[in-house]
Amino acid sequence: MPTESRPAESRPLDEDDTTNDDTTNNNAIENAAPATDSAIRERTSTIVITAFTPRRSTGSVAREKSGTYDNDRMEEKTGQAAAHVDSDPTVVLLDPMAGLLETVTGPVGEPAGGNSANHISLPGWISLPGWRPWRKAPASRDDPISTPPAGGHPVVRSVTTSLTSHGLTVPDRSLAVATIMAAGVLLVAVSYLIGRSGHPDAGTALLWPGLMTVFATGAIRLLRTGTSRQERLRVSVLLGVALYFCFELTQISAVREFDELLHLRTLLDLQATGHVFTPHPGLPVSPRFPGLELLTNSVVQLLGVPNQVAVIGVVLLARFLLVYGLFLLIERLSRSAYAAGVGVAIYSCSPQFFFFNAQFAYQSLAIALTVLLLLIVVDRPRYGRIIAALLIAMTWIALSLTHHITSWITVGLLAGWTLCAFVRRDRADGRALAGITLVGLLTTAGWALVSISMLSDYLGPILSESFHQAGNVASGQAKSRKMFTDSAGTATPTWQIVALLGSTLLWSVSILPVGPFKFRPDTDSRHATLYQLLRLMHLAFPLTVIGTVAPRTAELSTRMSTFIYLGLAAVLGLTITSYLTTHRTTRPAHLVRLTTALSVFVFIGGTVLGSGADWSRMPGPYLVIADGRSIDPYVVAATDWANTRLPQGSRVAGDRETGVRLMSIGRQWLVTSLGSRASAAPLYFGSTIGDYERTVITTGRIQYVIVDTRLADGLPHETFYAENGEAPVGSQLTPAMLAKFDTQPGSVKVYDNGPVKIYDVKALWLPTTPPTTTPRPAGGDR
């Protein structure tokens, strides 16, 4: 690449240049050198040079082979700086990013080498005999050649790296990337438009090019060796945000996904009652972890914006924080913006990134808080004791308020980190981490105690079912789950299966020390313990594959992938970038292109794995129990009517999709076994309304039944019609089953729009139980 191998001298250096601001830059040296000590420090941002060693820089493979290296070219340019540094081995340099973005280096006063014993005096790098490849522990693209570990701790010298790499960075293309990504999003929007007009297959054919445009544009820039740090950060954020929009555009005017509607109910309860902890019929545990809804409500109340706008804004903020935090976290560990950018690209390939973690659900915010907490803990020395304690405490509180599972997993991560620190005999760090973990444990456990019964009701069956199903599959008592088809029999296209299996295989192979994955670069010694933990998380990747054998374990393993991919992204980000910059090839650009193509492939695989069949990604005509695809104008009209005409808090029976919309938008009480300890699902499966059905109605004190006659068109795409365990697997509703409400005396139809009908069934209550007024959640008007 000509741009990469151009001489460093050819690049104009000026103080305001923000193009090449990866870690540090040449002009920093130039600025620092002639100034007085105090003048320098007034403008600095604590980049500390601890050692200079020769390194191989981007695009200089041919020169390295001939025994020279790019630093040679820097001597003349930085001669003045060298003289200055010579007299003062700890030089503070100007970071042009200061004030705009965070500095790359670690805490104040923590030299990059970790301790003074690792410092190498400046003349050493000038007079070092020549470049010698140190392939064992290349810390990053910026510094692929580390010195031998001193005292067991590898040394990373980020500053050195940039001295050479800065002269080689390519022009900032953030705007071009943003434009192409926006065009990709537009393509996706057009594909959804086609889907909504009744041609979902044609829409899907356009959707993938749109998604690939967005991802590939980001991946190309992030994998390119010469991209500047600032551009990497921008592109990482753009990638996360653009992919969020690609998902959100399916339902931009109103949320329709099942999980989102559950959380919307919590938000509406909060706004209607003014209180937290309002009983929730569909997800009783949600009001006990109202962090997401509290944040959204504060935006609504402060800015006076509609709920939908606030919902989009908050999830967008969560996505930004996740990507931004992940970039900085990996950068802190690796001392390389290159590794950080690639790490973000890898995380974008995780199954839940495109779909589940872009939803208005508590995990979307919680995972961002987890990443930021890890970042703050890594960075805690830079903030000082008070601010660090405040940041950590506030984050723990927010995390505990937001999501149960994520907060516990984060406590587990911190505990593992602590353990790693003690194993490495880093007692000071271990004690500090133990304190932070203890605070987290107390906060999380304390908050969980408030809702212990609800949590056990909610999570208990999931966990026991998972173990039960996994045990049955392992012992041969049950067959493993049918792969690559949904419960309605919709098959995944072959090319998507290939991508899914290919990406899974690739990530599985990545834990083995083969090929490019032989590289296991050590990282900054100060963060070695966290890196060790992330490696363990990376090694846990096969669990996400094994978990797919049974339906419940598959659900759990997919959820776990959100966290496991944090380790995968950090470890492989560093591994891949180290490989790309140290691998000896005559065509390095081809290697990067190949990696980019492979990344697009694994992105498709991960996205398919996380979001399921094509119908889940594409708006279109009605499908039986298929999340947003089951919400169409008929369902909207029926639920809107019920929400405005039926008494608020009426107890209703409904299928998974119409029921949850009725429950959410209209704050009606959907009768479910989780929220009412009485399931209304069996009501649908009888051909007549007999004693059993009347008992179900009476037990659940059901006042209205909503029936979508199209349920008889096929099997549900989402496992069940109304509730898990409603009928033997494969049971299909028939038109007769749904028509029984028309002919049964006592069941009166109060609403009819053709496919969707609402019946008043209060007259069917058994006489032994006197009709009572529906217990409503406390609160105001609709």
Partner 1 sequence: MNTVTTVLQALLGITILVLGVAGLHATLTRTAKAGTDSGGNDSAADASAANPRTNSPVSSRADSPANIAPLFLLTVTGLMVGSLLVAVVGLADNPLAYDLLFGAVAVALATFGRLRPATFLARIRDHLLREASRWKAAAWKTSAWKAGPRRAVLLTSVPILILAVAVGLSWWSDDTTMNAPVTALGATRTHTGLEVTVTRAEGDNGDLLLEVINAEGRQWRLPLEPRKKKVDVPVGSEATPAPTTVRLLVNGKIIRSITIQ
Residues 33-72 that bind partner 1 (CB under 8 A): 38, 41-46, 48
Task: Return all residues near 463 (Cβ < 8 A) that are at least 6 apart.
Answer: none
- A 10 A CB-CB count for 213 gives 22
Interaction mask 208-247, partner 1, x per CB under 8 A: -------------------------------------x--
Residue in 63, 80, 107, 441 binding partner 1, rule: CB under 8 A: 107
Between 71 and 395, whose beta carbon lies closer to partner 1? 395
Footprint on residues 378-417 left by partner 1 (CB under 8 A): 379-388, 390-391, 394-395, 397-398, 401-402
Closest to partner 1 by CB, 140 or 402: 402
Integer Cα distance of 659 and 669 in angstroms: 9
Site for partner 1 in 510-569 (CB under 8 A): none
User: Please, which of residues 472-501 interact with partner 1 by CB under 8 A?
Assistant: none
Is residue 719 within 8 A of residue 487, CB to CB? The reply is: yes
CA separation, residue 276 to residues 59, 268, 402, 408 (Å)? 58, 11, 13, 22
Whole-angstrom Cα distance, residue 168 to residue 581? 14
Q: Taking Cα atoms as reference points, which of 371, 413, 416 lies closest to residue 569?
A: 371
Does residue 453 touch partner 1 according to CB under 8 A? no
List Cα–Cα distances, 12 to 25, 57, 159, 166, in angstroms: 12, 19, 20, 11
- Smallest gap, in angstroms, from Cβ of residue 691 to partner 1? 22
What is the closest distance, in whole angstroms, from the C-beta atom of residue 327 to partner 1 in the complex?
A: 10
For the bound state, the minimum distance from the C-beta of residue 537 to partner 1, rounded and expressed in Å, comes to 22
Distance CA 314, CA 263 (A): 13
The encoded tokens of residue 370 equal 């987890």
Task: Establish if 376 lies at the interface with partner 1 (CB under 8 A).
Answer: yes
Determine, following the binding rule CB under 8 A, whether residue 74 of this chain makes contact with partner 1: no
Q: How far is the CB of 471 from partner 1 (least distance, A)?
A: 40
Least separation in angstroms between CB 339 and partner 1: 18
The reply to whether 189 sits near partner 1 by the rule CB under 8 A is yes
Least separation in angstroms between CB 456 and partner 1: 24
Check: CB of residue 443 under 8 Å from CB of residue 396. Answer: yes
Among 115, 548, 695, 719, binds partner 1 (CB under 8 A): 115
DSSP one-letter string for 749-774: EEEE-SSEEEEE-GGGS-TTS---PP
Measured CA to CA, the distance from residue 543 to residue 462 in angstroms comes to 17
Please report, for residues 47, 135, 155, 669, the alpha-carbon distance to residue 103 in angstroms, rounded to integers and kept in the order given.
Answer: 8, 28, 19, 51
Residue 519 C-beta: closest distance to partner 1, Å: 29
Q: Does 103 bind partner 1 (CB under 8 A)?
A: yes
User: Least Å distance between CB 693 and partner 1?
Assistant: 19
Q: How far is the CB of 577 from partner 1 (least distance, A)?
A: 22
Burial 104-142 (b: 16+ CB within 10 A, else e): bbbbeebbbbbeeebbbebeebbeeeebeebbebbbbbb
Q: Tell me whether residue 216 or residue 369 sits nearer to partner 1 (CB atom).
A: 369
HSE of 516, CA atoms in CB hemisphere, 13 A: 22
| Residue 328 lies near partner 1 (rule: CB under 8 A) | yes
Applying CB under 8 A, which of residues 508, 589, 752, 766 lies at the interface with partner 1?
752
- 13 in contact with partner 1 (CB under 8 A): no
How many whole angstroms separate alpha carbon 489 and alpha carbon 715? 8
Residues numbered 116-145 forming contacts with partner 1, rule: CB under 8 A: 116
Question: Residues with Cβ < 8 Å from 21, sequence gap 6 or more?
Answer: 95, 96, 97, 228, 229, 230
Give me 715's structure tokens.
């099997």
> Does 439 participate in binding partner 1 (rule CB under 8 A)?
no
Site for partner 1 in 146-185 (CB under 8 A): 175, 178-179, 181-183, 185
Q: Which of residues 341-360 bind partner 1 (CB under 8 A)?
A: none
Q: What is the DSSP code string of 268-292?
A: HHHHHHS-S----SS-TTGGGS-HH
Report the residue number, 45 or 492, with the smaller CB distance to partner 1. Answer: 45
The residue among 479, 476, 477, 483 whose CA lies nearest residue 500 is 483
- For partner 1, which stretch binds (CB under 8 A), given 215-223, 476-484, 543-551, 742-750? 742-750
Count of alpha carbons within 13 angstroms of residue 243, beta-carbon side: 32
Query: For residue 669, what are the β-bridge partners?
Result: 651
With respect to partner 1, which residue has the nearer C-beta, 515 or 754?
A: 754
Taking contact as CB under 8 A, which single stretch among the options 162-170, 188-196, 537-545, 584-592 is the one that binds partner 1?
188-196
DSSP one-letter string for 105-129: S-STT--TTSSGGG---HHHHHH--
- Of 20-28, 324-332, 500-508, 560-568, which part binds partner 1 (CB under 8 A)? 324-332
Report the residue from 646, 702, 711, 738 that binds partner 1 according to the rule CB under 8 A: 646
Whether residue 36 contacts residue 98, with contact meaning beta carbons closer than 8 Å, is answered with no
Nearer residue to partner 1 within complex by CB, 227 or 595 = 227
Residues 753-782 binding partner 1 (CB under 8 A) are: 753-754, 758, 760, 762-763, 780
Stretch near partner 1 under the rule CB under 8 A, chosen from 4-12, 23-31, 538-546, 747-755: 747-755
Dihedral sign (CA 158, 160, 165, 166) = positive
- Closest residue by Cα to residue 682 from 740, 632, 630: 740
Stretch near partner 1 under the rule CB under 8 A, chosen from 161-169, 252-260, 335-343, 449-457: 252-260
Q: Does 739 bind partner 1 (CB under 8 A)?
A: no
User: Pick from 61, 81, 82, 92: which binds partner 1 (CB under 8 A)?
Assistant: 92
Q: Among residues 64, 102, 257, 465, which is the contact residue for partner 1, using CB under 8 A?
A: 102
Task: Name residues contacting partner 1, limited to 257-316 (CB under 8 A).
Answer: 270-276, 290-291, 294-295, 297-299, 301-305
If the CB atoms of residues 160 and 492 are measured against partner 1, the closer one turns out to be 160
The token pair at 586 is 């005559």
Q: Which is nearer to partner 1, 238 or 346 (CB)?
A: 238
680: its two tokens: 């209304």
Distance CA 394, CA 398 (A): 6
Give min distance, CB of 717 to partner 1, in A.
19
Is 105 or 658 the residue whose CB approaches partner 1 more closely?
A: 105
- Compute the least distance from the CB of residue 110 to partner 1, in Å: 5
**DSSP letter at 92?**
E
Yes or no: say if 11 and 167 are a contact pair by the CB < 8 Å rule. yes
Q: Is 653 helix (H, G, I), strand (E, B) or coil?
A: strand
From residue 738, alpha-carbon distances to 493, 699, 748, 767 in Å are: 33, 20, 14, 24
Of 305 and 712, the one with the shorter C-beta distance to partner 1 is 305
Minimum Å distance from CB 272 to partner 1? 7
DSSP secondary structure code for residue 713 in this structure? G
Which is closer to partner 1, CB of 272 or CB of 497? Answer: 272
With 0-12 / 13-18 / 19 or more C-beta atoms within 10 angstroms meaning exposed / middle / buried, residue 236 is buried
| Contact positions with partner 1 (CB under 8 A) in 579-618 | none
- Contact stretch for partner 1 (CB under 8 A) within 318-326, 462-470, 569-577, 597-605: 318-326
669-670/651-653 β-pairing: parallel
Do the Cβ atoms of 288 and 450 come closer than 8 Å?
yes
CB of 688 to partner 1, least distance (A): 19
x/- binding map, residues 624-643, to partner 1, per CB under 8 A?
Answer: -------xxxx-xxx--x--
- Segment interacting with partner 1 (CB under 8 A) among 7-15, 191-199, 662-670, 717-725: 191-199
How many residues bind partner 1, per CB under 8 A? 112
Q: Is 749 in the site for partner 1 (CB under 8 A)?
A: yes
